[in-house]
Structure 1
Amino acid sequence: MAEFDYDLFVIGAGSGGVRASRIAAGHGARAAVAEEFRVGGTCVIRGCVPKKLLVYASQFAEELHDTAKLGWTIGQKSFDWAALRDFVASDVDRLERAYTSTLDNNKVDHFHERATIAGPNTVRLASGREISAKYILVAVGAWPVMPEFPGNEHAITSNEVFHLENFPKRVVIQGAGYIALEFAGIFNALGAHVTVVNRSDKILRSYDESLTDRLLTMMRARGVEFRFNAPIESIIKQSDGSLCVNTKGFLPIEADAVLVATGRKPKTPGLGLENAGIELGPNGQIPVDEYNATSCPSIYAVGDVTDRVQLTPVAIREGHAFADTVFGGKPRTIAYDHIPSAVFSQPPLAGVGLTEAAARAAGHDIKIYTSDFRPMKNMFATRAERGFYKLIVDTATDKVIGVHMIGPDAPEILQAVAIAVKAGLTKADFDDTVALHPSMAEELVLMR
Structure 2
Amino acid sequence: MLLRLLLLICAPLCEPTELFLKPSPSQTIEGNSMTLTCEIQPRLQTSKAQLQFCFFKDNGALKSGWNSSPELRILAMWTKDSGSYWCEAKTAKATTTIRSRRLWIQVQRVPVSDVSLETQPPGGHVTEGKKLVLVCSVAKGTGNITFLWYKGAMGLKLGTKTKHALTAEFEILTARENDTEQYYCAANNGFGLSLSGLVSITVRIPVSRPVLTLRTTGAQAVVGDMVELHCEAQRGSPPVLYQFYLKDVTLGSSWASSTGGASFNLSLTAERSGNYSCEASNGLEAQHSEAVPLIITVPTENRRDLLTSGVIEGLLGILGPTTFVLLFCYCLKRKIGRRSARESLRSTSSPLPQDSTYLNSPTPVPLQPVYGNVNTLSGDDIYSLVYSTQLEQESPAEPPRTLSKDKVSLPIYSKLKKITVIDMDYDDAV
Report which of the two structures shows the higher radius of gyration computed on alpha carbons. 2
User: What band does the TM-score fall into relative to the shorter chain?
Assistant: under 0.3
TM-score by length of 2: 0.16
TM-score by length of 1: 0.16
Query: Which protein has the bigger helix share?
Result: 1
Instruction: Indicate the structure whose relative CO is greater, using CA pairs within 8 Å and at least 6 residues apart.
Output: 1
